[in-house]
Chain A
Amino acid sequence: MRQDHLITATQLSRGDIEAVLDRAAEIDADPAAARERHAGRVLALCFYEPSTRTKMSFDTAMKRLGGETVDMGPVEMSSVKKGESLADTVRVVEGYADAVVLRHPSEGAAKMASEFVDVPLINAGDGAGQHPTQTLLDLYTIRENHGLDDLTIGIMGDLKYGRTVHSLSHALTNFDARQHFVSPESLQLPRSVRYDLHEAGAQVREHTDLDAVLPELDVLYVTRIQRERFPDESEYRAIAGEYQIGPEVLDDAKDSLTVMHPLPRVDEIAPEVDDTDHARYFEQAHNGVPVRMALLDTLLP
């Protein structure tokens, strides 16, 4: 990877992606070989928003590379509570660590923070913006199950605010992937993501109903529709209910369909789906460790 920072999926070429995924596969096959690669190195975890998977998998990844982590802890317990700016915080933290992982509720936070530090900064989610490391593990999971070319994928749910969708959809333009976007009209892709997809030569096929495209999908990527995006509870329930996946919904799908979800899920995917051969979302979450190990191995000096 040529860049010092990982801020957005738009900066990743096919070569960048394949290099990280290949390295992740090597690590997956022989984790012990990577055990001491970054001994003595420190990774800073700055999470301004709650996180389970992303934070814990970065923590695990760094430790499995022989390194250590320092955690800013909850915002309420840090200097952020005293009014410290993000710019000041990351400038301080870069003195403690060899790389910084940042999650922040504002779009563009990682981009701005990266302008204030010299160590690699990794965007672990910036508001409704981007989540490029999730994309890398998503792509790894897709590659393991189907391969990344000659792929038909349906991306469903909150496409407007879903940062995992914004990153994944762009990264897929590096591959021979047909993308179908399924969402309520009010949660369709934002203008900026459409612009990038258009610039990348991708065709945006949008649907409000999964039924029309389900039979042709190799992968169905489901995201959570959040309650706070709707003015009232009844509207939320009515719309969210139309985008739930139960075993019966999958009757029309290919036997080989892979169902993915960045998690956490609420009720978009019924627990009964977990026991089907379609379900890959826990495997997807587990892939966060080898993929983030590979990414750190690539970015750490």
Chain B
Amino acid sequence: MSDTELRVSKIRNGTVIDHVTGGQALKVLAILGIDGTRGESVSVGMNVSSNRLGKKDIVKVEDRELSQDEVDVLSLIAPEATINIVRDYEVVEKLRVERPELVKGVLRCPNRNCITNADEPVASRFDVVDSGVRCSYCSTIIREDIADHIDAG
């Protein structure tokens, strides 16, 4: 049994997000909107040894299968991540993280004067550009620390 498995037990049904850059696990949960309030069991391993990444994080969410759209959003903060969908302890599907063209309702625009931060019935929307993401409404570009702009609300 490997060190990782010792720290983070196997799940019966759900999603395993592996090869997350060390220290990013909580941001992965935030970007997926997983905060435990829906009662799902969540296991997190942080800074465990990895041949590929040196240090990696691993996240296991029970009884929730991530969609491709949700997985793609992860590319913004965890482009190396691998996603395994587990049913009855078996990996039934492996999803690849692909860079989406658009990210909707996940990030908050850092421009306080952007219309998406006013009290309007509109979700934030960012176009994914080479150097980061760009607000579809006010054009503000976020290049660094995208995870800091995850909309926790």
Q: Which residue of B lies closest to A88 (CB)?
A: B121
- Minimum CB distance partner of A192 in chain B: B139
- Interface 9-residue window, one of B20-28, B64-72, B112-120: B112-120
The distance from the CB of A20 to the nearest CB of chain B, in whole angstroms, is 23
B115: chain A residues at CB < 8 Å are: 86, 104, 106-109, 111-112, 126
- Closest CB-CB distance, A82 to chain B, in whole Å? 13
Considering the complex, give the chain A residue whose CB is closest to the CB of B140: A192
Contact: A107 with B137, CB < 8 Å? yes
- Assess A127 versus B140: contact at CB under 8 Å? Given A85-B120, A86-B118: no
Whether B139 contacts A112 by the Cβ 8 Å rule is no
B141 touches A192 (CB 8 A): yes
Q: Is the CB of B129 within 8 A of A195?
A: yes
Interface assignment of B111: CB less than 8 Å from any CB of chain A? yes
The verdict on B122 contacting chain A, using a C-beta distance below 8 Å, is yes
Complex interface residues of chain A between 181 and 214 (CB less than 8 A to chain B):
191-193, 195-196
Residues of chain A within 8 A of B122, CB atoms compared: 87, 112, 115
Whether A108 touches B134, Cβ cut-off 8 Å, given contacts A86-B120, A192-B139, A195-B129, is no
User: Per DSSP, are chain B's interface residues mostly helix, strand or loop, or mixed?
Assistant: loop
Q: Give chain A nearest CB distance to B119 CB in angstroms.
A: 7
A97-128 contacts to B, CB under 8 A, are 104-109, 111-112, 115, 126-128
From A106, A126, A191, name the one whose CB has the most chain B CB atoms within 10 angstroms. Answer: A106
The answer to whether A112 and B137 have CB atoms under 8 Å apart is yes
List chain B residues, Cβ under 8 A from A112.
115-116, 120, 122, 137
The A122-171 residues at the B interface (CB cut-off 8 A) are 126-129
Give the total number of A-B pairs whose CB atoms are below 8 A apart: 62
- B146 adjacent to chain A (CB < 8 Å): no
Chain B residues touching A, range: 20 to 34
Is there a chain A Cβ closer than 8 Å to B138's Cβ? Answer: yes
Closest A residue to B136 by beta carbon equals A111
Q: Which residues of A contact B134 (CB under 8 A)?
A: 192, 195
Q: Which of B107-153 contact A (CB under 8 A)?
A: 111, 113-116, 118-122, 129, 131, 134-141
Report the separation of the CA atoms of residues A111 and B129 in the bound assembly, to the nearest whole angstrom: 19
A196 surroundings in chain B (CB, below 8 A): 139
Docked-complex contact A108 and B114, CB < 8 angstroms: yes
| Chain B residues at the A interface, C-beta cutoff of 8 Å | 111, 113-116, 118-122, 129, 131, 134-141
Name 28 interchain pairs, CB-CB below 8 A, sorted by A: A85-B120, A87-B120, A87-B122, A104-B115, A106-B118, A107-B113, A107-B114, A107-B137, A107-B138, A108-B114, A108-B115, A108-B116, A108-B137, A108-B138, A109-B115, A109-B118, A111-B137, A112-B115, A112-B120, A112-B137, A115-B122, A127-B113, A191-B141, A192-B138, A192-B140, A195-B129, A195-B141, A196-B139
- Which 6 residue pairs across A and B have the least CB separation, nearest first? A108-B137, A107-B138, A192-B139, A108-B138, A108-B115, A106-B115
Apart from A191-B140, A191-B141, A195-B129, 16 more pairs, CB < 8 Å:
A86-B120, A106-B114, A106-B115, A107-B111, A108-B135, A108-B137, A109-B115, A112-B137, A126-B115, A128-B113, A129-B138, A129-B139, A192-B134, A192-B140, A192-B141, A195-B131
